[in-house]
Amino acid sequence: MAAGTAVSRATGMIRQTLQAAALGTGLLATTYTTAGVVPMSVYTLLIGGALNSVLVPQLVRARAEHPDGGHAHEQRLVTLVLSVLAVGTVLAVWAAPQIVAVYASDGAKDHAAFGLTVVFARFLLPQIFFHGLYFILGQLLNARQKFGAMMWTPVLNNLVLIAVFGLYIALLTGPREVADITAGPVRLLGIGTTAGIVVQAVALIPFVRASGFRFRPRFDWRGAGLRTSLTAARWTLLLVLANLAAMTVVTHLAGAADRQLPTAGVGFTAYSYAQTIWMLPQSLVTVSLVTALLPRMSRAVAEHRLDDLRGDLSRALRASGVVIVPAGFFFLAFGPQTAHLLFAHGAVDAASAAPAGHMLQALGLGLIPFSAQYLLLRGFYAFEDTRTPFWTAAQIAAVTIALAVACHLLLPPRWAVTGMAAAYAVAYAAGLLLTAVRLRRRLHGRLDGRRLCRTYGKLAAAAAAAALLGHLAATGIVGTGAPALTLLAGGLTMAAAFWALARLLRIGELRGLPLPGLRRA
């Protein structure tokens, strides 16, 4: 899984670098980026939240308890999911202007950007159905303990988009203003982007068939035991609404910064790029761990083995921390250099790449509580408790919204979205504390807290010292004018120093990077 995710994220970064080179980081790019947020948001609101957190425990339980091994339950569930997605996709395409209006302003001054966002959204909204197809097929595989295919198929999506943006750059003179783009490039970007998701979803079908699943539409939902899934999904829907509320506010306010400074790269596209880089360690390590652990933790709860659940959570937190903690300090130390190296090409110069680097710095240390909170929430999902995660998400969203609005009102446009990035990190630090306290109560007052605090304290000390040494090494060669060399020198110095300090501090989890840590007691 980690290997598949690594290749997926690597090709994803190539895709995003080409996207920045083609469209830049200003208002024109934000029309496409905002339109790209819309289908995933609608999908998550329709059924995505339930798929990601509720249905795996339900599928595992059905396979263990139903006389037919859960096959009928799976067929009903897939039929229900695809039916909801089909109807929802058609309605979303029809209501594209109203949906886009939630994320972007429409006025006399902004109408051209708003109209272009709506056009992009109509091309991209069919992705809703294929996002859902991909995730429901992936969850069927996960319930069968087959995790690799779901991690590898996004590579196909990235390859399609690499070809699309490469073609865009090769054949077209990339416009920098919204008014300059024509129908041909819009069709290329819109159709090509949706085609990537279609390929990603359809590629899972052979793997699902090989696992033994055969789809037969079943509409006999009444009395089939789906009520439990739907009841649990009620709280997940509210959780999704809380997260979407925070994301929508940040998207809207960040878009306002783009409209004020349309070519400076200080708004939503820069924030989106920075967040994608920031999420990379989380995707490589934490998501892989959670994907493997959730079915296992669900079985532990079903069999009343709370010590095993507690042990799995502790090992996952300590194993992932070996990567997540130094990654957070790396982003703090080298955010601007990373953004310059990846995005200062084509339509983006050094000045317009700099804001994304500062946003990456602001997000930096927030990666640690974000990753840990993501892991701990899966403890509640193993209990099929979706109510507690909702209340936690609502509180995180409230803090995020309050701080984002404050940044919008109090900071100049150049720094407002950087402040929102820092607000996101602060909100998840508060969310981690809330989640840990509540899960500790659920686990009868024990969460292996001392061991976790000791490990994370050592990791933070080693990473902070290593980041400082790396920064000093990079500063010594800044005058060379070679950002790749600067980042390479700083990164290698930090990596060597962290390894040496971690060994000196006897951080045992360093020997199991990262998945082998799950096999140690």
Q: Give a yes or no: residue 225 inside a domain.
A: no
> How many independent structural domains does the chain possess?
2
The answer as to whether 517 is a domain residue is: no
* 220 part of a folded domain: no
Whether residues 179 and 311 fall in one domain: no
Domain with 106, as residue range(s), is 1-214
pLDDT given at position 493: 93
Q: Are residues 167 and 287 in the same domain?
A: no
> For the chain, how far is it from start to end, CA to CA, in angstroms?
22
Q: Is residue 443 situated within a structural domain?
A: yes
Report the C-alpha gap between 327 and 13 in whole angstroms: 16
Are the beta carbons of 456 and 321 closer than 8 angstroms?
yes
pLDDT of res. 368:
96
Are both 120 and 161 inside the same structural domain? yes
* pTM: predicted TM-score of the whole model, two decimal places: 0.84
Q: What is the pLDDT of residue 228?
A: 59
Q: State whether 244 and 195 are in the same domain.
A: no
**Among residues 214, 242, 277, which one ends one of the domains?**
214
Q: Are 309 and 297 in contact (CB under 8 A)?
A: yes
pLDDT tens track of the chain, all 521 residues?
667 777 888 899 999 999 998 888 888 899 999 999 999 888 887 776 655 555 656 666 666 666 665 677 778 788 888 888 999 999 999 999 999 998 988 776 778 889 999 999 999 999 999 998 998 888 888 777 777 788 889 999 999 999 999 999 887 766 667 877 888 889 999 999 999 999 999 999 999 888 878 887 877 666 555 565 566 567 777 888 898 899 999 999 999 999 899 888 899 999 999 999 999 888 878 777 776 776 777 777 777 787 888 888 888 888 889 999 999 999 999 999 999 999 988 888 888 899 999 999 999 999 999 999 998 988 887 787 878 888 999 999 999 999 999 999 999 999 999 999 999 999 999 999 999 999 988 887 788 888 899 999 999 999 999 999 998 888 776 555 577 888 888 999 999 999 999 989 988 777 655 443 334 33
Write down which residue in 171, 188, 214 finishes a domain: 214
Query: What is the rounded distance in angstroms from the CA atom of residue 107 to the CA atom of residue 6?
Result: 42
- pLDDT for 442 equals 85
Is the same domain home to 438 and 394?
yes
Range list of β-strands (E), 317-427: none
Amino acid at 386: T
Same-domain status, 252 and 132: no
- Which residues, including other chains, have CB under 8 Å from residue 436's CB and lie 6 or more apart? 376, 447, 449
> Tell me, what's the pLDDT at 465?
96
Residue closest to 25 by CA, chosen among 35, 15, 13, 16:
16
Within this chain, do residues 282 and 351 fall inside the same structural domain, yes or no? yes
Cα gap 270→277, rounded to integer Å: 11
Same domain? 192 vs 236: no
516: in domain: no
For residues 360 and 424, membership in a common domain is answered with yes
Is the same domain home to 324 and 438? yes
